Amino acid sequence: MKAIWTVARRELKSLFDHPMGYILLVVFVGLNDFLLLRTAYAQSLASLRPLLELLPWMFLVFVPAVTMRALAEDQRSGVLEVVLAQPITEVELILGKYIGQLLFIWLALGLTLLIPIGFSFGADLQVGVIFAQYVGAGLLAAAFAAVGLWASSLSGNQVTAFIIGAAVIFLLIFIGLNPLVVGLPPMLSGIAANLGVLSHFTNITRGVIDLRDAVYFATVAAIFLVLAYLVLMGRKLTPKGVTLKRLRLGSVLLIAALVVVNLFGSHIRGRIDLTPGKIYTLSSTTKQMLRNVEDIVLIKLFASRDMDPRFELLKRDINDLLGDFRSAGNGMVRVTVRDPASDQEAANDAETLGIPTVQFNVVGQGEYTVKEGYLGIAVQYAGQTETIPVVDHTENLEYRLVSYIRDLTRESVPVVGLVEDQAEQARGGGFSVLRQALTDGYEVRNIDLSSHTLDPDSITALILATSPFFLEDSVLGKVQDFVRQGGSAFIMASGMQFNPQSPQPIVQTVPVVWNQVLAPYGVSIRGDMVFDLASHEQASIAGRAGIRYFQGYPFWLRALSTQASTVNQNIQTMFLPWTSQVDTTGALPGSVTPLFVTSSAAGYEEGQAMVAPQRPPQDYPTDNLSSRLVGVMVNPLAADLTDLQSDSVATELPPRGRLIVIGSVEFAQDNWVRNAGSSIVFVMNAVDWLAQDEALTAIRSKNREPPALVFESSTLKALVQYMNWLGVPLLVIVVGLMRWVRRRRITQLVYVPSVQSEV
């Protein structure tokens, strides 16, 4: 081990003794930082995904450039024979060279850590995900470094070693790409998809360190190290000798064993989920629900073996999840996997259950064809069935399966009343997407306040998704009586609305009728409109000559979640267009929980405001910027009443009903919610809380979106940007110059014997 470390240290030192090492570091770090920060700032997301998507292609050039000198230069200069003449084995030499080269590549990756450190000043980082992403990048580097070392052992020419290494790395990347795998026969395409690096690397970068992916990278590195050893020994042994033949046979058998481990490693189970809230692990709610089922739950997966190879990773995730369901069910959950394409009985069963074939396009071998396959799930319980006809993603698969099991096993379905503006619905501003989402767990009824009665015993929760100018006292009294008797309500309303008489996009203050319902709670929606100069979405604006461009629109809030309750605990941000503040100054202590706030760079306008997206940022008032409250939950039963009682007069208590209050109506409408998935998740969570049925909230809220990147000042934002773009490359250059000057001074020293010889 000491010899290996000595070689590794010498190899690492030689990379820093050569100017090429510093050039590679500067180019690699500078280019990655520039591309990542440009994308992250444009999307306002603290995510390393842009870097990770390009990293395999960056390594395609960077890794061979680092490793091409490892053995090629020693062969060309004759140093290799001198080194092997020392008391060191070929295995120790190869491992030492490999570790030294790999440490240099890992150091280059380590220099990019300043990016997430910079992001931490503007976002609540997902540390576990970032750790897993760097583990995945390190494993990818380990596999590619072994390829580069093998390429360097083939020739004494560095350029040749670079070309061979880059070609093999490109092949490992290309094997998993769609243009290749879709044109192969089903069996070969599945093998090719499993051998490609991209699927394994992508899986780890989600935030899950899977043992199967780790085995893959370890076996790839081991195969090429064995090949490098074989090449090195081939130069030492007699070309046609028995020893070389035995070595080749042993190497072939070892490589074959590693390939088998690689291919069958897909059946190994074991993973570490480092995502916030353990997104890819069954929640405790799911496990408890599965343990409590009273009869057998049968889950049927219909999956074709000859599906498009692009579905391989998806099928693996589905099988993992269903395996977890089976384990958590303690024998009450049974899972079957059937292939209707090869089993007529399974095909008939799929047709009966409503599982259709999936069509996918295949372009390969000079032809364009359409193939069919199955990838659907049916859940059966007590003679009832719920189906997912096509599973095209697994992001919410746990929630969908658990919600089906809950619906099949419970006796009655709660009712949710929806009050919306019919005129707004006719203009495309309805809530059909929200209504469809609610039908997964509730019976949704359209409520006309003028004609329907509101009874908390028959309506579990009421969604007031409209902001009328005026309501009759008798109509408003129905809502007040509903919450007074313990009914729960979700109120969406804004204190400013567009002026239909104005040709310009102008909003003006309007009365909020629901404030009369909120008054006993000490809560109200203010007659203003909030803007946020730091955390907002972009609007598409038509420019000259029909060219469209994007510009930040402060009235489209990217509201920040407080994550202070089960309703929003796994939600990072939510899109709230044209939103008013929520005033809670009169609320009882402990009865109100803030849900969504703005950044500290937010202000508001009242009375009348111009809300055109073209409005320049300097036109927004900046004299009163601070964090604004735009969404709350109200639970009067949680209020602290100890300080509100006097000796003679008791403070009047608010109604018993729960409330959710958001200062915007548009955020949940069809024309906005389709591109803002967190809005539906939040509303569903809110309805569960209002209905006091929060079993699925934690499952539904599993958030896979990266946190929002919101810097409190433009100075800090620019500092993070230029410290990475320029600071890190300049630091590498300065270290290189200092090392060069030091070496130059050492070479200019005159040799003086430490002991003078006697004359």
Q: What is the pLDDT of residue 363?
A: 46
- pLDDT tens, 436-478? 888 878 889 999 888 888 888 889 899 999 888 888 888 899 9
Q: What is the distance, to the nearest Å, from the Cα of residue 727 to the centroid of all Cα atoms in its chain?
A: 28
Mean pLDDT of 92-97: 89
For 698-705, what is the mean pLDDT?
68
- Asked if residue 424 is part of any domain, the answer here is yes
Residues 95 and 241 in one domain: yes
Identify the CATH number of the domain in which residue 420 sits: 3.40.50
Q: Are 159 and 233 in contact, with CB atoms under 8 Å apart? A: no
pLDDT at 312: 67
List the beta bridge partners of residue 609: 507
Label residue 629 by pLDDT band (50, 70, 90).
very high
Report the pLDDT value the prediction gives residue 309, as an integer from 0 to 100. 58
Same domain, 505 and 574: yes
Q: Is residue 149 part of a domain?
A: yes
Beta-carbon count within 10 A of 742 CB? 10
State which residues form the domain around 387: 284-405
Pair of tokens at residue 94: 């190869």
- Is 697 a domain residue? no
Distance CA 599, CA 106 (A): 36
Q: What average pLDDT does range 314-339 have in this prediction?
A: 85
pLDDT of 703 reads: 63
Q: What is the rounded average pLDDT of the residues 687-715?
A: 77
Q: Would you say residue 708 lies in a domain?
A: no
The pLDDT assigned to 649 comes to 40
pLDDT at 366 (0 to 100): 47
Secondary structure (3-state) at 477: helix
**297 and 341 within one domain:** yes
For range 17-30, the mean pLDDT: 89
Higher pLDDT, 673 or 698: 673
Cα 198-201-206 angle, rounded to 5 deg: 120
Domain boundary at 405, 432, 450, which? 405
pLDDT of 424 higher than 60: no
Residue 544 has pLDDT above 70, yes or no: no
For residue range 152-182, what is the model confidence (pLDDT) as tens digits? 988 888 899 999 999 999 988 887 665 555 5
262 & 301 share domain: no
Report the distance separating Cα 322 and Cα 337, nearest Å.
10
Q: Give the separation between CA 548 and CA 190, rounded to whole angstroms.
A: 43
Same-domain status, 391 and 431: no
635 and 655 in contact (C-beta within 8 Å)? Answer: no
Work out the pLDDT band at 319, boundaries 50, 70, 90: confident
The CATH number of residue 382's host domain is 3.40.30.10
- 348 forms bridges with which residues in the sheet? none
Indicate the average pLDDT of the chain.
83
Residue with tokens 């049916």: 378
Buried residues in 486-500 as b, exposed as e (16+ CB within 10 A): ebbbbbbbbbbbeee
Residues 451 and 596 in one domain: yes
Beta strand pairing status for 488-492 and 461-465? parallel
Domain stops at, among 405, 424, 450: 405
Q: Are strands 629-634 and 659-662 parallel, antiparallel or unpaired?
A: antiparallel
**pLDDT value, residue 69:** 85
Distance of CA 190 to the CA centre of its chain: 26
pLDDT tens per residue across span 45-58: 888 888 888 899 99
**Domain final residue, candidates 385, 405, 425:** 405
Per the listing, tokens 């750790």 go with 131
CA dist 203 and 197 (Å) reads 10
Task: Kindly state whether residues 288 and 225 are assigned to the same domain.
Answer: no
Confidence label for 524 from pLDDT (cuts 50, 70 and 90): very high
Give domain status of residue 422, yes or no.
yes
Is the model's pLDDT at 250 over the cut of 50? yes
pLDDT of residue 492: 94
Most confidently modeled of 80-84, 89-93, 247-251?
89-93
Amino acid letter, 396: N
Q: How far apart are CA 641 and CA 534, in angstroms?
A: 38
pLDDT for position 34? 87
Q: Let me know: does 569 contact 563? Beta carbons within 8 Å.
A: yes
- Whole-model pTM: value is 0.69
Q: Would 705 be classed as within a structural domain?
A: no
pLDDT at residue 336 greater than cutoff 70: yes
- What are the φ/ψ torsions at residue 135 (nearest 5 degrees)? -65, -45
Q: What is the mean pLDDT of residues 332-340?
A: 88
Query: Residue 521 class from Cβ within 10 Å (0-12 exposed, 13-18 middle, 19+ buried)?
Result: buried
Range 279-303 average pLDDT: 86
Confidence tier at 631 by pLDDT (50, 70, 90): very high
How many domains does the chain divide into? 3
Are 586 and 468 contained in the same domain?
yes
**The three-state (H, E, C) secondary structure of 678-730, written as one string:** HHHHHHHHHHHHHCCCCCCHHHHCCCCCCCECCCCCHHHHHHHHHHHHHHHHH
Using a 10 angstrom Cβ sphere, with 0-12 exposed, 13-18 middle and 19 or more buried, the burial of residue 701 is buried
pLDDT of residue 467: 83
Token pair belonging to 341: 């394409």
Asked if the structure places residue 745 within a domain, the reply is no
Which tokens hold the place of 720? Answer: 């993070």
Averaged pLDDT, 377-397: 86
pLDDT for res 257: 76
DSSP letters, 12-80, are: HHHHHHSHHHHHHHHHHHHHHHHHHHHHHHHHTB---HHHHHHHHHHHHHHHHHHHTTTTHHHHHHTHH
For residue 243 the two structure tokens come to 């020893």
Q: What percent of the chain has a predicted confidence (pLDDT) above 70? A: 85
Domain membership flag for residue 525: yes
Q: Predicted confidence band at 43 (pLDDT cuts at 50, 70, 90)?
A: confident
Beta bridge partners of 558: 575
pLDDT of residue 310: 59
Do 379 and 457 fall into the same domain? no
Q: State whether 487 and 633 are in the same domain.
A: yes
- Based on the fold, state whether residues 331 and 217 are members of the same structural domain: no
pLDDT band at 233 (very low <50, low <70, confident <90, very high): confident
Residues 395 and 429 in one domain: no
Band the pLDDT of 185: cuts 50, 70, 90: low
The predicted-structure confidence for 582-611, as pLDDT tens digits, reads as follows 999 989 888 999 999 999 999 999 999 998
> Across 238-242, 388-392, 607-611, which has the greatest mean pLDDT?
607-611
